[in-house]
Amino acid sequence: MWILGIQQNNLVSEKSIANTRIGMDIRDAVGAYVAENDASGNILDGLLVGPSGVPNVVRQNNADNNGVHGIVASEGVIDGGGNTASGNGAQDCTPNLSCAP
């Protein structure tokens, strides 16, 4: 699992995480720009993003074939568009994100 702690204005880009419990956990980031990552084939969730103060932006990420969720974005996360997710166990993306298959 790849975790980003409480830091401000980070770019989280072009990472590929597979075959872990949770692919990427960015719930404690502040003002992060999360773009062009692939979090597929994980046991539970692919990508977890939450707001902590300044909202995080989620753009052009891919999360396929995870055991439970593809991309989980808390209320307040900004949808930058272009995210894709399919074949996840329970849900491809939370309702506040648009994710194409």
Residue 7 has pLDDT above 90, yes or no: no
C-beta separation of 44 from 23 below 8 A: no
% of residues, the chain, pLDDT over 70: 89
Starting at the edge strand that comes first in sequence, how are the strands of the sheet with 16-17 ordered? 16-17, 38-39, 62-64, 83-86, 99-100
Least confident of 7-11, 25-29, 40-44: 7-11
* Tens of pLDDT, residues 78-94: 999 999 999 999 999 99
Indicate the pTM of the whole model. Answer: 0.88
